[in-house]
Structure 1
Amino acid sequence: MNLAVQVTQNQLMDVLLNVAVARPVFIWGAPGIGKSSLVEAFAEQVGLPCVSLLGSQLAPEDIIGVPQIVDGKSRFCPPAQIAREEPYCLFLDELNACSQEVQKAFYSLIHERRIGDYHLPEGSIVIGAGNRAQDSAIVKPMSSALINRMFHVQLLVSYEQWMNWAYSNGIHSYVLQFLEVRPDYLWSQPPKSEEPFSTPRSWHMLSDALNEFDENLTTEMVGVLAYGCLTPQHAAQFRAFHKNIQGKYQLNRILEGEASFPTAPEDRDVLYFLADSFRSQIKKELPADKVSVGEQHKRFAHRAKALLKELSSISLEMAQMVVARHEDGDGLPDWFVVEVIRDLPRLAMDRKGK
């Protein structure tokens, strides 16, 4: 499912605080973007224990319980994890990964807050969550009856809000510094093949791994850790970032004219990282519409063109990568590209970004 309107982490908390107390809420979103953590934070905020059930690992009897004979009559006794006396937040994670039989077992629980003769305590909250079919995750079609029993919301990744959280929660300085330069690397679309990919969760995982090592962590080990968590391209860039972090090629010094792009063959990975970061910086600094260009923008554009000329003398391929429009349509402002083509015709060749 794809909803027309998506919400940030902060907006989701507002929805949960105002809607979930009255109606069951289902949170859609890609893997690793913080759905589970936000539900746990919400439960803590409203002062309720959070009981999580993982849909992909449930059988119907895990919900409705097993029959027992009581006073000569059979009755289903729900599991103790669900049948509580005090109000709580019931989190049905990966709900749309359940089999159809398990989904049916949830009908009365979600709609009537009841399992057999057991009713959830007054004040209890029911929240579901699941991945989308396009995320290469294990999902099964949800029946219209189940969909219609819940309020639906789709979570997106907010770089600013995640970084605000990260600075307050001990995320490793290398991760913070890198994502300050490459905010677009915080999340990537899940791949079709079996390989790691970048999400807020995987960056958190990398941070935890980095925090377990001392300050003498080698670039080779950083590469091992990064490739174990991130999209391969992002891992290569993070490794190059670490190799460069104590060096003389920081992008801000190059922009200020205090340093130049590296030229040595052994620094080609660093050059690629700097060129990719330079492209991201141009997009960040320059407005998309030329009518919004001010004097400061003009000065930056002039400096950027000079650096593109310098970069093309070192590697025409990387300079073209900076100005090329990528396959997803992502590119530099059109007005700036026109100026580049006019002033630097060597870069006018139509090439796909890598």
Structure 2
Amino acid sequence: MNIGINVSQKELSEFLLNVAVVRPVFIWGPPGIGKSSLVEQFAADLGLPCVSLLGSQLAPEDIIGVPQIKDGVSQFCPPKIIARTEPYCLFLDELNACSQEVQKAFYSLIHERRIGEYHLPEGSIVIGAGNRAQDSAIVKPMSSALINRMFHVQLKVSPKEWFGWAYDNGIHPYVIEYLQARPDHLWTQPPKTEEPFSTPRSWHMLSDALNEFKDGLSLEQVEVLARGCLTPDHALQFKAFHKNLKGKYQLNQILNGDVRFPSDAADRDLLYFLTLSFRALIIKTLPEKKDSMKEDHKSFAHRAKALIKELSEISLEMAQLVVADHGEGQVLPGWFTVEIIRDLPRLAGRDK
């Protein structure tokens, strides 16, 4: 499912506070962006225990229970984990990974808040979550009857909100510093092949490993850790970033003119990281429309053009990486690209 509009974690919390208390809600989104932890935090904020059921591991009897004879009459007894006397938040994680039979078992629980003769305690909340078909995850089509029993909302990753969370939760400073330079690396679309990919969860994993190793990690160890949980290209750039933590090639120093881009062959990986970080900074800083330019934008644009020319003298390939469309949805402002490309043929001709 693609709803066509996304909400951040903060917006989702407000949505749940006003909607989930009266109607069931289903949260769509790719893996690793914090759906489960957000629901658990939401329940905690309301003072409710959170009972999580993992849809991919459920059978129908795990929901409706098993029949028993009482006073000569057969009745279903729901599982103890569900049949509680005090209000709680029932979190149906990976609901759309359930079989069709399990989905049917949820119909009355979601719509009428009951299983057989058992009714959820007054004040209980039902929230579901799952991945989308395009996320290369295990999902099954959700029946129209089940879809129609819930509000639907789609969660997105907000780097700004993530940084606020990261500072409060002990995320390793190297991870924070890297992602401040490359916020576009916080999350990537799950790949079609079997390989790690970057998400807020995988960056958290890397942070935990770095915190355990503490200081003294070799570049080889950093690469092993990064490649074990991040998108391969992000892992290589994180290694280059780590290599330069105490080096002289800091992007702000290059922007200030204190140093130049590295030109040694041994620093090729570092040049690649700095080039793409420079590109990300241009996208972040310059307005999409030229008529929205302010004086600080004009000053930055002038300096950026000079640096791209300087970069092309070191490596035309790297200079072209700055202006190229990488197909990830983030591009330089059109007006800036046009101005730069006017110079690139001349610079390329000079190298021949």
Q: TM-score, normalised by structure 1?
A: 0.96
SS class of match (2:106): helix
Asked if 1 retains the 8 angstrom alpha-carbon contact of 2:316 and 2:348, the reply is no
Structure 1: gaps (5+ residues): 350-354
Partner of 1:142: 142
Deviations 1:127-180 (A, max 9, x none): 000110000111111111111111111111111111111111111001100010
Distance 1:214 1:154 in 2: 37
Partner of 2:130: 130
Partner of 2:198: 198
Partner of 1:275: 275
Distance 2:257 2:290 in 1: 26
Tell me the CA shift for residue 325 of structure 1. 2.0
Show the 5 A alignment for 1:1-354: 1-328=1-328, 330-346=330-346
Distance 2:11 2:214 in 1: 38
Tell me the CA shift for residue 308 of structure 1. 1.2
- Structure 1's 301 and 337: CA in aligned 2 closer, same or farther, altered over 3 A? same
Stretch moving more, 337-346 or 296-305? 337-346
Distance 1:167 1:74 in 2: 55
Tell me the CA shift for residue 198 of structure 1. 0.7
Stretch moving more, 319-328 or 41-50? 319-328
Tell me the CA shift for residue 294 of structure 1. 2.4
Tell me the CA shift for residue 323 of structure 1. 1.2
**Which amino acid counterpart does residue 120 of structure 1 have in structure 2?**
L
SS class of match (2:59): coil
**Which amino acid counterpart does residue 218 of structure 1 have in structure 2?**
S
Tell me the CA shift for residue 252 of structure 1. 0.5
Stretch moving more, 23-32 or 336-345? 336-345
Distance 1:156 1:29 in 2: 7
Identity within the alignment, % = 75
Asked if 1 retains the 8 angstrom alpha-carbon contact of 2:28 and 2:129, the reply is yes
Asked if 2 retains the 8 angstrom alpha-carbon contact of 1:341 and 1:347, the reply is no
Partner of 1:352: none
The alignment of Structure 1 onto Structure 2 pairs a total of residues equal to 349
SS class of match (1:236): helix
SS class of match (1:299): helix
Distance 1:8 1:110 in 2: 25
Distance 1:19 1:316 in 2: 54
Asked if 2 retains the 8 angstrom alpha-carbon contact of 1:171 and 1:204, the reply is yes
Asked if 2 retains the 8 angstrom alpha-carbon contact of 1:276 and 1:322, the reply is yes
Distance 1:315 1:18 in 2: 54
- Structure 1's 337 and 166: CA in aligned 2 closer, same or farther, altered over 3 A? same
RMSD: 1.3
Tell me the CA shift for residue 328 of structure 1. 4.4
Structure 2: gaps (5+ residues): none
Asked if 2 retains the 8 angstrom alpha-carbon contact of 1:319 and 1:347, the reply is no
